[in-house]
């Protein structure tokens, strides 16, 4: 079995799916790329059993067949080449692989591609299409807020909640929550599923170069994302997502509007002087003045900074984890942001300035306060 392929083109396609690999896999064959040659088409797959990603590319060949090629040595070899044509020759009996260029030959041992785990078929699936740009924005706005508590696996992914009027993308780790709503994405009937963090990270990396539509097919067990020449299939998280709407406070009489960049940079500076365990930053709001402060009594460090804001409400003092606030402000892309507060022991809500937001987009970010100290 033989084929010819450009080294740079092959490397680009391998790197696009290599994130699905797991170096500590219980199955040694999953440390390999699966190559499926069908004359002038090459389909490349990488998998960790939970997530499988495939891509297709053009090659020059008259043959058909499958082989599993060790991922690390192939990637490391391809990275050293300039853009040159490479000839692959695979022994169909012992799966020995020879790669030859104009200047050298390189031999490595492959495995029988037929032993590679089969990609599960999507049966009785619900189907929806989402523009790649919209899906990328939804993933970017939510993935940072997913949890990593093994005792609460449903919180380790993003909740896709589809309805007839809108679609919600939700993530929470119990300390913060993000609800990203699109009114321009509607489903024929209500449906929901939870996608793990790893496949979403792979999806985010691949979607960055796409401007087509993403077809999503899902059932109770798996979700299949198809776009361009990429396909990603992942096992969904089994379980019921918490009733996140119940924790979003409705009555928030204290409303603050402030320049996002000024607020974000001030929090980053002040947090350097905060306690390294709690990362606590205090917000004291009085009139049109917001005072940020932090201290670390163990090292006698402290800092404070005053900012001008537009505030309607009672004077108050509340504290938050600076890392959570920074993450949220970094993912709110508007010039001005709004913060809604009620009491020092209740969650604060961050939203983008509606004048700058997409009419079809609604972003709500919730952060729990930390005890004032």
Percentage of the chain modeled with pLDDT above 90: 86
Average pLDDT, the chain: 94
Confidence bin at 363 (pLDDT 50/70/90): very high
- Domains of the chain and CATH, by start: 2-115 (3.10.150.10), 126-245 (3.10.150.10), 249-367 (3.10.150.10)
- pLDDT value at position 210? 74
Tell me which of 353 and 194 has the higher pLDDT. 194
- Asked if residue 291 has pLDDT above 70, the reply is yes
> Residue 215, SS3?
strand
- Asked if residue 44 has pLDDT above 90, the reply is yes
Q: Where are the alpha helices (DSSP H) in the chain?
A: 7-17, 71-79, 132-142, 197-207, 260-271, 322-330
Query: What average pLDDT does the segment 330-356 reach?
Result: 92
The tokens for 182 are 């699109």
- Asked if residue 149 has pLDDT above 70, the reply is yes
Query: What average pLDDT does the segment 225-236 reach?
Result: 94
> Residue 232, SS3?
strand
Q: What is the pLDDT of residues 305-327, one digit of tens each?
A: 999 999 999 999 999 999 999 99
Tell me which of 261 and 188 has the higher pLDDT. 261
- Rounded Cα distance, 222 and 207, in Å: 20
Confidence bin at 130 (pLDDT 50/70/90): very high
Confidence bin at 373 (pLDDT 50/70/90): low
Buried b / exposed e over 234-259, threshold 16 CB at 10 Å, is bbbbeeebbebeeeeeeebebebebb
Confidence bin at 208 (pLDDT 50/70/90): confident
Count CA within 13 A, CB hemisphere, residue 370: 18
> Residue 79, SS3?
helix
- Asked if residue 357 has pLDDT above 90, the reply is no
Length of the chain: 373
- pLDDT value at position 24? 80
């Amino acid at each position: 079995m033989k084929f010819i392929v450009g080294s740079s083109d092959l490397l680009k396609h391998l790197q696009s799916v290599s994130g699905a690999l797991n170096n500590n896999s219980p199955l040694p064959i999953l440390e390999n790329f699966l190559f499926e040659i069908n004359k002038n088409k090459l389909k490349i797959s990488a998998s960790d059993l939970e997530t499988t990603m495939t891509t297709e590319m053009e090659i020059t060949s008259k043959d058909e067949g499958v082989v599993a090629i060790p991922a690390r040595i192939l990637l490391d070899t391809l990275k050293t080449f300039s853009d040159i044509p490479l000839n692959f020759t695979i022994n169909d009996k012992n799966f020995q692989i020879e790669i030859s260029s104009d200047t050298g030959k390189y031999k490595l041992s492959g495995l029988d591609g037929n032993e590679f785990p089969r990609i599960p078929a999507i049966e009785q699936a619900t189907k929806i299409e989402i523009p790649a740009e919209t899906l990328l924005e939804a993933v970017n706005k939510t993935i940072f807020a997913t949890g990593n508590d093994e005792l609460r696996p449903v919180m380790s992914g993003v909740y896709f909640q589809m309805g007839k009027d809108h679609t919600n993308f939700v993530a929470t780790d119990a300390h913060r929550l993000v609800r990203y709503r699109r009114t321009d994405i509607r489903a024929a009937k209500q449906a929901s599923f939870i996608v793990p963090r790893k496949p979403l990270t792979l999806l985010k990396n691949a979607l960055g170069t796409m401007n087509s539509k993403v077809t999503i097919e899902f059932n109770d067990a798996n979700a299949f994302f198809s776009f361009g020449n990429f396909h990603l299939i992942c096992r969904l998280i089994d379980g019921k997502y918490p009733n996140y709407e119940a924790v979003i406070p409705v009555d928030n009489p204290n409303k603050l509007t402030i320049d996002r960049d000024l607020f974000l940079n001030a929090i980053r500076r002040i947090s350097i002087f905060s306690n390294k365990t709690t990362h606590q930053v205090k917000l004291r709001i009085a009139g049109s003045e917001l005072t940020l402060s932090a201290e670390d009594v163990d090292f006698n460090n402290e800092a404070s900074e005053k900012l001008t804001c537009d505030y309607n409400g009672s004077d108050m003092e509340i504290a938050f984890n600076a890392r959570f606030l920074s993450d949220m402000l970094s993912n709110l892309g508007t010039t001005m942001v709004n913060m809604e507060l009620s009491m020092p022991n209740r969650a604060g809500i961050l939203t983008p300035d509606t004048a700058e937001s997409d009419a079809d987009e609604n972003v709500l970010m919730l952060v729990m306060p930390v005890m004032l100290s």
